[in-house]
Amino acid sequence: MTAFTADRKNTDLKHDSGAVGYSSNALKLFMEHLRQGPETKLLDVGPVCQENIRFFASRVKRLYVCDMFIRLGRCIRKGSPVDQIWDELDYPPQSFDGILLWELADRLDDPDVKRLVTLCHTLLRSGGMAMVVVLGDQSGSSAANTFVVGQNFRVHLRPQRHLHLPLHRRQNRDVLSMMAPFIPAQSFICRPGFMEFLFRRE
């Protein structure tokens, strides 16, 4: 079992034209893992954007996108129970080599996070990886963002103004606890206050 390490030096935060941007080492490792298989299947739970679809679809065999942010937003707007969104992740068990959760957990309360994590654990193949981002205390904005991936794993945050979602800020320990069924693999701190995590299914 691999232990869990943090790498504080290796995040390169820059502000490009006012937008928050950084080089994502977690994503780089995540993609390196996916590239090890010829028939890789990746699930991205959104928010979906065309840059990411192009980026990931050109690097994996099959890209599955299911925008859970927009589904969550619709549920909240209609006043419907949030737990009905989980019916959308109706893929067969052990379907994926990787799941990109981005900051979805930060938009959910604890029972729904537990449901999400259990689902992801079921959907990932043995050895598969999940990437999680949490906004943490220091990130200024509570707006939902798309983590738009560019060349050389540069990521910039694009606010999704149509999404009005709650924010449950979580700390490092909370993340480790909520992702308990997984093996923590690697984490990175990004200067705006958010953290990137990689978890692996045994």
Partner 1 sequence: MLKKNRKATAEPPPPPNPVAVNQKTVIGDQISIEGAIRGQEDLLIEGSVKGSIEVKAHRLTVGVKGQVEAEILAANVTVSGKLSGNINATGKVEITKEADFNGEIKARSISVQDGAYLKAVIEMEREPLKGISPLGKPEEKTFSDPIKEPIILAEKGTKGN
- Asked if 72 touches partner 1 (CB under 8 A), the answer is no
User: Residue 139's closest CA among 197, 101, 191?
Assistant: 191
Asked if 77 interacts with partner 1 (CB under 8 A), we say no
Question: Residue 24: what residue type?
Answer: S
Minimum CB separation of residue 75 from partner 1 in Å reads 12
Only one of the segments 77-85, 97-105, 112-120, 172-180 lies at the binding site for partner 1 (rule: CB under 8 A); that segment is: 172-180
**Measured between alpha carbons, how far is 119 from 113 in angstroms, rounded to an integer?**
10
Q: Is residue 141 near partner 1 by the rule CB under 8 A?
A: no
Q: Is 146 in the site for partner 1 (CB under 8 A)?
A: yes
Residue 153 CA from chain centroid, whole number: 14
In sequence order, which residues have a C-beta less than 8 Å from that of residue 121 and are 6 or more positions away?
181, 182, 201
126 forms part of the interface with partner 1 (CB under 8 A): no
Give me the amino acid identity at 183: I
Name the residue with tokens 């707007």: 77
Interface ranges with partner 1 (CB under 8 A) = 2-10, 25, 28-29, 31-33, 35, 46-50, 53-54, 57-67, 70-71, 74, 88, 129, 136-138, 146, 158, 160, 162, 171-174, 184-187, 189, 191, 193, 195, 198, 200
